[in-house]
Amino acid sequence: MSRPRAPFRIIFICTGNICRSPAAENMFREHARRAGILADVEIDSAGTGDWHEGEDPDHRSADALREAGYSVEGTARGLLPGDFVRHDLFVCMDRSHVRDVVARGAPRERVVLVRHFDEGRNHDDVPDPYYGGRDGFAAMIAMLESSMDGLVARVRSEISQQRGGA
């Protein structure tokens, strides 16, 4: 009898874990489902800070997700020391998150910017929409959406490598 395979663990990171990272988490969950890899991944999100610990996603982010056809799940939390050994891939929303996550102990080769999975991007960061209006949240969803296919391909490749190229 073979042992069950460990899931590939991916975590999305933003500042407070109420706008960008929970949106990316929910969007990736749906894209992983569509791609047939959902059973092989464990998906989470966290903030570099814990200011919003225990809160639901920002209502504007939740509204933008629903308008784009995604479900809304999640409760805000800050990064924990165990996250740095537990997760296989840290997907950051901007360069400040990359610096923070690496400085706190994540292996640099496992830390990426979500926008790097969008070949048509004109910049690397997903700007924080928190202090703006609805347009910023719609732009956030569009940026994340354009990164999902590339990210799914990366995760599918990582899963295949974990399984010895199967």
Query: Catalytic residues, which ones?
Result: 14, 20, 128
Q: Do 98 and 48 touch, CB atoms closer than 8 A?
A: no
44: three-class secondary structure by DSSP: strand
Distance CA 41, CA 20 (A): 20
Residues near 142 by Cβ (< 8 Å), separated by ≥ 6? none
What order do you get walking across the sheet with 89-92 strand by strand? Answer: 41-47, 8-14, 89-92, 111-113
Given a contact cutoff of 8 angstroms between Cβ atoms, the answer to whether 12 and 114 are in contact is yes
